[in-house]
């Protein structure tokens, strides 16, 4: 149905290419055809043909909560350093939750009361943020809810949102990138009556499979390489993207395969990478069906052959198999719309095989793909005169400002539906994420968004120098002191201050609250 993206880039004309190369050679002070071209050529990466899909895909443990008398589901999470073996025979120092790498999957239902006990056994202070969850800002796990080394944090809230695939990861201001890269990240599955009735595959680890996609660089001894991309050295005036790896892990498994035993499987895809954008598909353009975006289910499945996933974005897709079929989930060169030559240095020419899906010689029947899912409520209705806010992403700043823990940037009335126009004002890769809210993409550079961008979202790639127009529905929980965040989900940019803070307050209180945050939290203290 939607097999072609309407917006594939035109190849640059020869003249534009020459001008660009000339401009870079001059501004970077590098002679024609020397280091620059060497770097340029090195940055087209591929692992196609180099994998054997030898390792069985690891499925993160589904964490069983203890249920207390009042029905509260209690989860215990312990963050600690560990040792992993990703590459055979090599040890890698990593961080994880209840294990050496990544974190257990939490599965909750709309209406559940949850209480978590989070012990920080890491050598650093950190936080744990529930990305995509609608919850009180004091429980959000952003930079104001630091958990000092050796301390315990006990957030609790009531889940009140439709079925979705969310995730959790650290959010300490300035070091989110390294904490996520070392391995702290997990998935959250929210179920609701719509998802339970939907007929979509839902047996965890069997036909409902979490896939955490991450790129790494390894030193020869197996240790993680933290060096960042040379983009900024090479392309003058463009900020580094941070880490861009040449080795892909799926759920912390290198070179993975998964044994498919049912006719249909639902893949819950999470881009948990620091900066890499994936363009997912199958060789031969095998069709799959998108059933959910970050913040919930679609109205009906949508047939696709390609799906772009920026850092922080999630998607649920259903893939159909015939007995004995093998299909490789691949990331093709993503259409980053960042122009020449940034495209190359930002991973725009990279191709990676991610996972081989191997169907058994005979498959258990799956229910048919539903024609309607009616994810509730998939579409956001705008008021007659919505308030519009504008954010401009340039370099590592938003609207010319860097993150200030003590400054409130926006004040939003609880329950509001607003237009947010987010403009990418430079030629680099950025992904916009907003806490505590759900949005729909209305327009991308004035055009209808491509099929894979339509649905309830909380994170969106900013394509092209132009504007992404969003209809944002905010939650009804208020707090006049503790803000939520919005930021670029390229973690190097976030850590460098490409982040702002907003309060959600009772309607009518917008002008009465302080725009300065002066809580102990703002200075990184832990008071829990």
Q: Is residue 425 within 8 Å of 462, Cβ to Cβ?
A: no
Contact pick of 257, 289, 308, 493 for Cu ion (by CB under 5 A) = 493
Q: Is residue 444 within 8 Å of 454, Cβ to Cβ?
A: no
Euclidean distance between CA atoms 163 and 159, whole angstroms: 10
Q: Rule CB under 6 A: which of 394-453 touch ligand C2O? A: 433, 435
Residue closest to ligand C2O, measured at CB:
131
Determine, following the binding rule CB under 6 A, whether residue 129 of this chain makes contact with ligand C2O.
Answer: yes
Determine, following the binding rule CB under 6 A, whether residue 457 of this chain makes contact with ligand C2O.
Answer: no
- CB neighbourhood size of 34 (10 A): 10
Q: How far is the CB of 312 from ligand C2O (least distance, A)?
A: 5
H helices within 137-224, ranges in order? 176-182, 193-197
Contact pick of 131, 144, 169, 314 for Cu ion (by CB under 5 A) = 131
Determine, following the binding rule CB under 6 A, whether residue 134 of this chain makes contact with ligand C2O.
Answer: no
Residues near 482 by beta carbon (within 8 Å), at least 6 away in sequence: 137, 138, 140, 144, 503, 517, 519, 521
Choose the binding region for ligand C2O from 6-14, 90-98, 418-426, 485-493 (rule: CB under 6 A): 485-493
Q: Which of 256, 296 has the CB closer to ligand C2O?
A: 296
Q: Which of 84, 137 has the CB closer to ligand C2O?
A: 137
Q: Which of 6, 400 has the CB closer to Cu ion?
A: 400
Choose the binding region for ligand C2O from 222-230, 418-426, 484-492, 513-521 (rule: CB under 6 A): 484-492
Q: How far is the CB of 314 from ligand C2O (least distance, A)?
A: 10
Contact pick of 460, 490, 505, 517 for Cu ion (by CB under 5 A) = 490
Q: Rule CB under 6 A: which of 277-336 touch ligand C2O? A: 312
Euclidean distance between CA atoms 502 and 140, whole angstroms: 13
Virtual torsion, Cα 172, 174, 177, 179, nearest 10 deg: -40
Q: Which long-range contacts (CB under 8 A, 24 or more apart) does 62-68 make?
A: 62/104, 62/105, 62/107, 62/204, 62/205, 63/98, 63/104, 63/105, 63/106, 65/114, 68/115
Q: Is residue 184 within 8 Å of 79, Cβ to Cβ?
A: yes
Choose the binding region for ligand C2O from 55-63, 411-419, 444-452, 481-489 (rule: CB under 6 A): 481-489
Contact pick of 488, 504, 505, 522 for Cu ion (by CB under 5 A) = 488
Contact pick of 435, 457, 473, 487 for Cu ion (by CB under 5 A) = 435
Contact pick of 73, 107, 144, 171 for ligand C2O (by CB under 6 A) = 171
Is 518 exposed, middle or buried, given 0-12, 13-18 or 19+ CB atoms closer than 10 A? Answer: exposed
Residues that bind Cu ion (CB under 5 A): 131, 430, 435, 488, 490, 493
Residues that bind ligand C2O (CB under 6 A): 129, 131, 169, 171, 312, 433, 435, 485, 487, 489
């Amino acid at each position: 149905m939607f097999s072609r993206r309407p917006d594939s880039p035109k190849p640059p004309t020869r003249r534009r290419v020459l001008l660009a190369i000339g401009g870079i050679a001059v501004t970077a002070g590098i002679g024609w055809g020397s280091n620059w071209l060497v770097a340029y050529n090195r940055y087209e990466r591929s692992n196609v043909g180099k994998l054997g899909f030898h390792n069985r895909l690891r499925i993160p443990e589904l964490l069983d909560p203890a249920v207390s008398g009042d029905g509260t589901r209690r989860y215990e999470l312990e963050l600690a350093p560990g040792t992993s073996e990703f590459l055979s025979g090599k040890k890698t120092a990593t961080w994880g939750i209840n294990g050496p790498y990544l974190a257990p999957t939490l599965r909750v239902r709309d209406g559940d009361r949850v209480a978590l006990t989070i012990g920080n056994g890491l050598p650093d202070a950190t936080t744990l943020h529930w990305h995509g969850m609608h919850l009180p800002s004091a429980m959000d796990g952003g930079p104001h809810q630091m958990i000092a080394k050796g301390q315990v944090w006990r957030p609790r809230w009531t889940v009140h949102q439709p079925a979705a695939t969310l995730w959790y990861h650290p959010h300490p201001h300035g070091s989110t990138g390294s904490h996520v890269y070392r391995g702290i990240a997990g998935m959250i599955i929210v179920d609701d009556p719509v998802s339970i009735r939907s007929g979509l595959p839902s047996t965890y680890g069997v036909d409902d499979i979490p896939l955490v996609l991450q790129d790494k660089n390894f030193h020869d001894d197996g240790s993680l390489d933290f060096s960042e991309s040379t983009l900024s050295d090479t392309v003058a005036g463009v900020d580094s993207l941070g880490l861009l790896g040449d080795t892909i892990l799926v759920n912390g498994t290198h070179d993975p395969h998964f044994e498919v035993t049912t006719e249909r499987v639902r893949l819950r895809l999470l881009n948990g990478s620091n900066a890499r954008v994936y363009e997912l598909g199958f060789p031969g353009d095998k069709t799959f069906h998108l059933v959910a975006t970050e913040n919930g289910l679609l109205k009906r499945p949508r047939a696709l052959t390609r799906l772009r996933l920026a850092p922080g974005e999630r998607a649920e897709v259903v893939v159909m198999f015939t007995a004995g079929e093998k299909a490789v989930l691949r990331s093709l060169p993503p259409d980053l719309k960042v122009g020449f030559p940034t495209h190359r240095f930002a991973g725009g020419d990279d191709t990676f095989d991610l996972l081989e899906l191997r169907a058994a010689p005979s498959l258990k029947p799956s229910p048919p793909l539903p024609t309607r899912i009616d994810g509730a409520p998939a579409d956001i209705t705008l008021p007659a005169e919505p308030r519009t806010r504008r954010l401009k992403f340039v370099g590592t700043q938003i609207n010319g400002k860097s993150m200030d823990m003590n400054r409130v940037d926006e004040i939003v009335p609880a329950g509001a539906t607003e237009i947010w126009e987010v403009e990418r004002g430079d030629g680099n890769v950025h992904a916009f994420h907003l806490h505590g809210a759900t949005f729909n993409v209305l327009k991308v550079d004035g055009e209808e968004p491509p099929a894979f961008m339509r649905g309830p979202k909380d994170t969106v790639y900013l394509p092209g120098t132009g504007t992404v127009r969003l209809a944002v529905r905010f939650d009804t929980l208020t707090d006049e002191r503790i803000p939520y965040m919005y930021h670029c989900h390229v973690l190097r940019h976030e850590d460098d201050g490409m982040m702002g803070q907003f309060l959600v307050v009772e309607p009518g209180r917008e002008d009465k609250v302080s725009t300065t945050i002066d809580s102990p939290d703002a200075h990184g203290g832990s008071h829990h």
